[in-house]
Amino acid sequence: MPYNFTGCLAHMDITFSLKSFGIIRITGILDHDTACQKQEMQRLPPVPLHPHVWQHALEQLDAGATIAAIQETNRQRCQDQLYDGQHSLDLANANIRYLFLPYDTSRLYRMHARMQGVDFSQPPEHNIDAWLDPKSPHYQPELADAVFYYKAHQNTSERFKICIQTKEMKAAAWKYAHGRQLLLDGTFGICDRHLLLFIGMAIDDKHKGVPIVFLLFSAPAGSQATHAGYDTDIITELLREWTPKQKKGGP
């Protein structure tokens, strides 16, 4: 923020449509306290990104584009002046920009997550429960079909566990891993929670790794580091849950 914090509670909450960018609701506390009104600007405020850039970047991310691809497309579109309002923009007085900067990435991910139904006002485990509960209005049948094992973290003695395999991954498992080698790639620190992800992989005809199962679980309560939650017992447990599921629909 370009002003020092004085404890003023003034704020504005704007709800808008991600599809049309039309404003749905405006609420908040609009009156500033005396100390806030006497404040002077300490630094120049950040220049906001044009809504058309956000819209195009969200469409790319939803289609599976990487951040590098989104940035490259943005640079090219900026150069060709393909965004709304670029031709008539007064660069000397404009309070808008069209170039997607590295610090825009986190906001882009959050906007995209909201499009997928992620409620940031709720703990992550509540979102997952809602997606997998057929009685919930946020039920995601495609995700539920891909989850073959799920244990909620209901108290400190339990660990969160979820295992995912789509139909395409199962087909790849039979094609490339049946009677062959299974590789497990462990990834720590995938988010700001103590979660561990193990990716079961097979080698395809082009000698490239193909993911065939995702094994995701939390570290035990009290662990100081994420990797402290890894042991062979939990990997064995999850693989034993996965193996019987491969018998259905196999060749």
pLDDT one-digit tens code per residue, 3-47: 788 899 999 999 988 778 789 999 999 999 999 999 888 877 788
**Domains held by the chain: number:** 2
Looking at residue 223, its pLDDT comes to: 58
What mean pLDDT is reported for the chain? 88
pLDDT of 54-110, one tens digit each? 999 999 999 999 999 999 999 999 999 999 999 888 877 788 999 999 999 999 999
Instruction: Using the predicted structure, report yes or no on whether residue 251 has a pLDDT greater than 90.
Output: no
Q: Is residue 138 part of a domain?
A: yes
* Residues 61 and 90 grouped into a single domain: yes
d(CA 220, CA 229): 6
Provide the residue range defining the domain that includes 128: 124-245
Which amino acid, residue 80?
D
Nearest to 230, CA basis, from 199, 200, 197, 202: 197
Q: Is residue 1 part of a domain?
A: no
Q: Is residue 14 part of a domain?
A: no
Instruction: Using the predicted structure, report yes or no on whether residue 147 has a pLDDT greater than 70.
Output: yes
| Mean pLDDT, rounded, for 130-140 | 91
Instruction: Using the predicted structure, report yes or no on whether residue 226 has a pLDDT greater than 60.
Output: no
Lowest mean pLDDT, pick from 78-87, 169-178, 182-191, 232-241: 182-191
* Residues 68 and 139 grouped into a single domain: no
Residues 214 and 165 sit within 8 Å (Cβ to Cβ): yes
Instruction: Using the predicted structure, report yes or no on whether residue 192 has a pLDDT greater than 80.
Output: no
* Residues 140 and 90 grouped into a single domain: no
Q: Is residue 2 part of a domain?
A: no
* Residues 227 and 205 grouped into a single domain: yes
The pairing of strands 209-218 and 195-203 is: antiparallel
* Residues 138 and 240 grouped into a single domain: yes
d(CA 143, CA 179): 28
Q: Is residue 41 part of a domain?
A: no
Residues 201 and 172 sit within 8 Å (Cβ to Cβ): no
